[in-house]
Structures are given as C-alpha cells and as structure tokens.
Structure 1
Amino acid sequence: MKKLILTGMLASLVIVSCSKKEATAEVPQQESNVMLEEPTEKAEAAVAMSPEEEGKQLVEGTDCMSCHKIDAQLVGPSYHDVAAKYTEADIDMLANKIIEGGKGNWGEIPMTPHTGLSPENAKLMVKYILSQKK
C-alpha cells in the first residue's frame, strides 16, 4: 500500500513538474517598450580618444608587454629605443612588422607575428610607441 501511494505521489510530482515547464516554454516573450539609456560620458570619452590613447589600449590588450617595456629592454627593444630610431614616415613599415613579425633589426631574437591584427590597429599601436620619444 505504501509503495502504491509513493508511486502515485511521484507520478503526480512528475506531471506537475512537466506541466509547469511546458507552460513557461509556451509563453511568448513580450516586446519591451522601455527606452534604452542615453550614452554615458564613458562612451563619449571612448569616441574622443586620441590615436595614441587607442594604441596604448591595444598594446596593453595584447602580448606586447611580455617582450617589450616602455623604458628598458626586455626580450625586444624598449619603446623609447624604437621611438628614437624611427619616425612618422615609418608607421606603415612598423605596422607591417607587427603583423608579420621579423628579426634582424634588433638582434637575432625574432618578433612573433600578430596576423590577427588589422593594419589600422597596428598603425595605432605604432603611433603610441612613437609617442614614447624621450
């Protein structure tokens, strides 16, 4: 008798559980007419960033700082040394070096290629690096 009662309770529990899921699954999501928030100062600040600031964020968001430092040689040259050696006329060439990698300009240790980087972002990174002139 106890087994029959337990089986009946279990069956009714399963039916109730399943029926609730179906009921919630059938309820269509309603469209919201709530207005979105206006852009904040943070969004406006992102638009007003200089190319050098954008480049700095890109450099900090990649693996560059694992081989380069701003003011001291690590694996690769410091950004101060790169900025002292190159000018604004070298932006395209340096951006290409970042994307394709290379070796020989600063020793025999090769620079890792960053093939997933767009030329525009690489140029922003170079502008930041060149802005590090002493």
Structure 2
Amino acid sequence: MSEGVKTVLVVAVALVDTDGRVLIARRPEGKQLAGLWEFPGGKVEPGERPEAALIRELKEELGIDVNEACLSPFVFTSHGYESFHLLMPLYLCRRWSGVVQAREHSALKWVRPAQLSDYPMPPADEPLIAWLRDLL
C-alpha cells in the first residue's frame, strides 16, 4: 500500500443480550459489501469522539439509546482495503434502552459467539469473531 492511503475511523459494537448472544446486522443492497453481516456502528465524523459516534449510530441504525458508561472498549481491528485503511475499535455493550430494530440494515440476527463464523462478514470484521468467542 502506498503512503497516501486515507485512514478511516469506524466504531462498532458487540451488543450482548442476556443469553450471551451477539447482534449482527446485514448490510443493505446498494451499499459497499452489501449482503455481508457486520457489527453495528459507523464512521466517526471529524471532531466527534468515538463513543459519541457509536451512541449516535446506534440510535440511527437500531433505534436504541446507549449510555456512554455502558460502552466498554474491547479490541480493535486494522484492515487495508484497496482505496483506504480501516481502523475499527469494537466496544462491548450489555445494557441499552429501547427495542432493537433494523432501520438501515436488511436484517438483524442474534447469534451465539460460536456461530458467528457461519455468517459471511467484511474482512475487517472477521478477526473480531475469535476475540468474542474467547470472551463470551
């Protein structure tokens, strides 16, 4: 990769329900990597803190409210795509208010950590599966 590649900061969350399952979301048609499953989240806007971005994205994408104190930094992934480099911290969250709904994704699914690898994910998300499997 050349030196001039832009780094994009994206935040993601592993929402964990009371049964120890993790929420994954399918990328909608028309978006890059459509049809693949991912951890909810999104881009950090200029001047925005990662936690604030994640709280905003979860409200927009899933219709839930998350308190910053309920976001635990867990692990991150760093992946070079053809036109940019992605840096993505993954947070854990076990508490939120509201009912999870697919507002921007084509589907949502609660999955046991051992089954996460059964769902095709973007290359940047794949390394996170082993961490979640080991923790949960």
- TM bin, normalised by shorter chain, reads under 0.3
Tell me the TM-score normalised to structure 1 length: 0.26
Which protein shows a greater Rg?
A: 1
Tell me the TM-score normalised to structure 2 length: 0.25
Kindly indicate which of the two structures has a greater share of residues assigned to helix: 1
